[in-house]
Amino acid sequence: MDKEIIKRVIADNQEEVSNFQIVERDFNLEEFGNYVFVGIRRAGKSFLLYQRIQQLLHSGTNWNEILYVNFEDERLSGMQLEDLNLLLEIHWEMYGQEPILFLDEIQNITGWEKFARRLADSKHRVYITGSNAKMLSGDIQTTLGGRYITIDVYPYAFAEFLKANNIPYTGKALLSTRGRAEISRKFSDYFHFGGFPEGALLAAKRDYLTSVYQKILLGDIATRHSIENIFALRLLVKKMAESVKTPVSYSRLANIVSSAGAKVGTNTVINYVGYAKDAWLVTPVQNIASKLVDKETNPKYYFTDNGLLNLFLLDGNIALLENLVAVTLLRQYGREDAVFFYNKNIEVDFYIPETKTAIQVCYNMNNAESAFDREVNALFKITKVLDCNKLLIITYEMEERMEINNTEIEIIPAWKWLLSSPPMRLHGKN
């Protein structure tokens, strides 16, 4: 690898990162920790690196102490594992000291984890980003275990989306008619088109989302896993989107896809669903009332961003609301064994063991008395089988607080609930 090319890349990156206007996100990292940021493509992982670098620069750290490299730069396309040490050599030649390393999209370098482990073992401070499961496979976790903390990164939470659009959401803004109307308008935008940072200010959001989805489907899933039956893969994702509120088994998905003309077996569906999860396109949520096998094989699948889900739906507001609640809970509590639904004689949309919270999602509780009774009764019944400290019904607009038989149920509009939820809780996995 030509050293002069790497030097130009480093210099260009310094200028780009220094001048980039970021929307600061709410996250705190330990000063001397090493981190791997993972998440769906375009979630804003690189922007978090930019934010951290700018924080260091503003606190007095200079570029001679920082090395940022984006491995998606086409000028580095020929770089191999054995070339990575050149980064340290070149920085030393340029500045005469060891840097804090920011390695963006490093999964493009096969074997990168060996270099990352050596950096940590030699007491370098390191921040790494990656877009897919290559960053989280068992082999890599074994290699990096105890040396790095893995942080899940999602697209913007609603509060961050408002901030990116320069919409205040203080108590004063929420009290004013104009302020609430503006927040409501932006919530509709966020509800239907999601929170990808680069798309937050775009007018042609659907075109942008279609582009992101194609890159995930064809790049992060099909190409990476050498899938030839693209039609079956597309159809599978479509059917998962259409079933987002319903538990669905691998065999059921295989039957649906096969009946539509794309013959696939259950094992193939298991692989495809695993690839979609690894690429952060979907996340399964399990039934806390099920036995272990059913938990694994009959979950609900939620899409990481409402904008992606909405590409597949017609008149999909009910599904979009439940998906938005699911993603917010997963962002707050984690993707693994933290968020569940309950389905055994009664159906409750979400249960959070950590806070003992049961949640129902109902788009419109004013349209039928039976809908109101169904949601309320389900919450009362679940208190008989699970410990519940809090009962919530999340709606699109309705707000009310009720107490029945000494049990309090809060009915809250989604936008207000979202603004009361932490934008991003860091889930460290050593």
pLDDT value of position 373: 86
Cβ distance 148 to 36 under 8 Å?
yes
d(CA 245, CA 105): 33
d(CA 85, CA 375): 59
Identical fold, 3-153 and 204-314? no
Domains of the chain, by residue range, sit at: 3-153, 204-314
pLDDT exceeds 60 at position 323: yes
pLDDT exceeds 70 at position 139: no
Task: Give the β-pairing of 126-130 and 35-39.
Answer: parallel
pLDDT value of position 312: 97
Nearest in space to 322 (alpha carbons), one of 400, 244, 243: 244
The helix or strand, by DSSP H or E, that contains position 216, with its residue range, turns out to be: none
pLDDT exceeds 90 at position 270: yes
Nearest in space to 193 (alpha carbons), one of 211, 209, 182, 180: 209
pLDDT exceeds 90 at position 29: no
DSSP annotation of 430 = -
* Residue found under tokens 């059921």: 252
- Domain 204-314: assigned CATH number: 1.10.10.10
pLDDT value of position 170: 77
pLDDT exceeds 60 at position 94: yes
Poorest-pLDDT segment among 87-96, 134-143, 181-190, 197-206? 134-143
Poorest-pLDDT segment among 123-137, 223-237, 300-314, 404-418? 123-137
pLDDT value of position 367: 61
pLDDT value of position 336: 87
Token digits of residue 428 = 């460290």
pLDDT value of position 140: 67
Poorest-pLDDT segment among 37-41, 177-181, 237-241, 369-373? 369-373
Give percent of the chain with pLDDT exceeding 70: 95
d(CA 307, CA 194): 4
d(CA 317, CA 296): 27
d(CA 403, CA 102): 52
pLDDT value of position 414: 97
d(CA 419, CA 411): 15
Confidence band (pLDDT; 50, 70, 90) for 296? confident
Nearest in space to 323 (alpha carbons), one of 300, 343, 342: 300
pLDDT exceeds 60 at position 425: no
Give percent of the chain with pLDDT exceeding 90: 73
pTM higher than 0.85: yes
Q: What is the pLDDT averaged over residues 394-419?
A: 92
pLDDT exceeds 80 at position 18: yes
pLDDT 10s digits, 360-401: 999 988 766 677 788 999 999 999 999 999 999 999 999 999
Mean pLDDT score across all residues of the chain = 91
Confidence band (pLDDT; 50, 70, 90) for 130? confident
Residue 223 CB neighbours (<10 A) = 11
- Domain 3-153: assigned CATH number: 3.40.50.300
Token digits of residue 179 = 């302020």
Confidence band (pLDDT; 50, 70, 90) for 421? confident
